[in-house]
Amino acid sequence: MSTAAHLSAHGSPAPVLELRGVTVRFGSVPALSGVSLALRAGEVVCVLGENGSGKSTMVAVLSGLQQPAEGELLVDGRPERFRSPQQARACGIATVWQDLAIAPLMSVWRNFFLGAEPTRGLWPFRRLDVGRAEEITTRAMARVGVPGLDPGQAASALKAGERQSLAIARALHFGARALVIDEPTAPMTVAQRALVLQSVVAAREAGLAVLFVTHSPQHAHLVGDRFLLLGGGRVAGDLTREDVDVHDLTRLVAGGDELSRLGDSLRAAQRDR
């Protein structure tokens, strides 16, 4: 495919992943209503909002679990329709889910490769290259802020933050281009949450487009370049670090009425253009 196909109408690189006017309904109730979003390489977009604001539905659309009733999903500026998570992964979209599933009795390196283990030798003498697998896993985990990990230990020994870091490290290693991180619900210590945030930063520095769903304005402002505020399934604000400091962001997320007024004023301004 030519480079031109990856350029927007203005000549700049197209977003890696984009939603345009996406609406999702469950029965007659819209979970998302006309939502637009652009994820660009080397940028972290944090999505914030109260429970029921549409965050989980947005993750489901981007991950191929939910198809929109209206609107478009684009990859590199080309319309796509993900009918399964496998199709999303084939386009380079990796999702780290809230309730991350691992095989607890298997080793860390086995969980890292999950069926793509390196081998050596020729058939019929081909066998797993355990040494190489452990070396790659150790290096990949150190890259996201977990140095000195024993890759041969059972995955059940990993703390919640380390499990999230493992999933992010795996996505980086296997060539993901966009990373969707749904904030984990498991209780975490401050150190474990710091690991997840460090992994988010590592993904951005590796050039990935990152969507980070979080309930915490403080965490969002630490790692985010842009902040998408959702309320009632609509975009109530699309802000940058230059637009808000952490106190402004906290006030907006905490104040439902203020967030609604912001959304109304933004939509009114768009209609007047």
Domain boundary assignment for the chain = 3-102+158-272, 103-157
- Average the pLDDT over each of 53-67, 143-157, 181-195, 201-215 and give the range with the smallest value: 181-195
On the question of pLDDT at 162 being above 70, the answer is: yes
For the segment 165-217, what is each residue's pLDDT rounded down to a tens digit? 999 999 999 999 999 999 876 678 888 889 999 999 999 999 999 999 998 99
DSSP bridge partners of 152: none
- Mean pLDDT (the chain, rounded): 88
Q: How far is CA 86 from CA 34, 39, 65, 81, in A?
A: 25, 20, 10, 12
3 has a pLDDT exceeding 50: no
pLDDT of 58 reads 96
Q: So what's the pLDDT on residue 99?
A: 74
pLDDT for the residue 1: 38
Q: Which residues touch 58 (CB under 8 Å, ≥6 apart)?
A: 19, 32, 35, 37, 47, 213, 230
Of 53-67, 221-235, 248-262, which range is least confident?
248-262
With 80 as the cut, is the pLDDT of residue 4 above it?
no
DSSP 8-state class, residue 7: B
Confidence of residue 259 (pLDDT cuts 50, 70, 90): low
Q: Average pLDDT for residues 256-264, to the nearest whole number? A: 57
- 127 pLDDT higher than 60: yes
Bigger pLDDT: 29 vs 209: 209
Query: pLDDT-derived band of residue 261, with 50, 70 and 90 as boundaries?
Result: low
Q: Look at residue 2 in the predicted model and tell me its pLDDT.
A: 38
What's the pLDDT score for residue 212?
Answer: 96
What pLDDT is recorded for position 5? 45
Return the higher-pLDDT residue of 114 and 121.
Answer: 114
Question: Over the stretch 234-251, which tens digit does the pLDDT of each residue have?
Answer: 999 999 999 999 999 998
Q: Please, which residues have CB within 8 angstroms of residue 109's CB and are 6 or more apart in sequence?
A: 130, 133, 134, 136, 137, 151, 152
Q: Which residues of 245-269 are buried (b: 16+ CB within 10 A; e: fewer)?
A: eeeebbebbeeeeebeebbeebeee
CA pair distance 65, 58, nearest whole angstrom:
10
| DSSP H/E element including 60 | helix 55-62
Q: Over 50: is that where the pLDDT of 26 sits?
A: yes
Q: Give the predicted TM-score (pTM) of the model.
A: 0.84
Mean predicted confidence (pLDDT) in 13-22: 93
Name the more confident of 91 and 185: 91
Right CATH for 3-102+158-272 from 2.60.40.1930, 3.40.50.300, 3.40.50.700, 3.30.43.10: 3.40.50.300
pLDDT at 243: 92
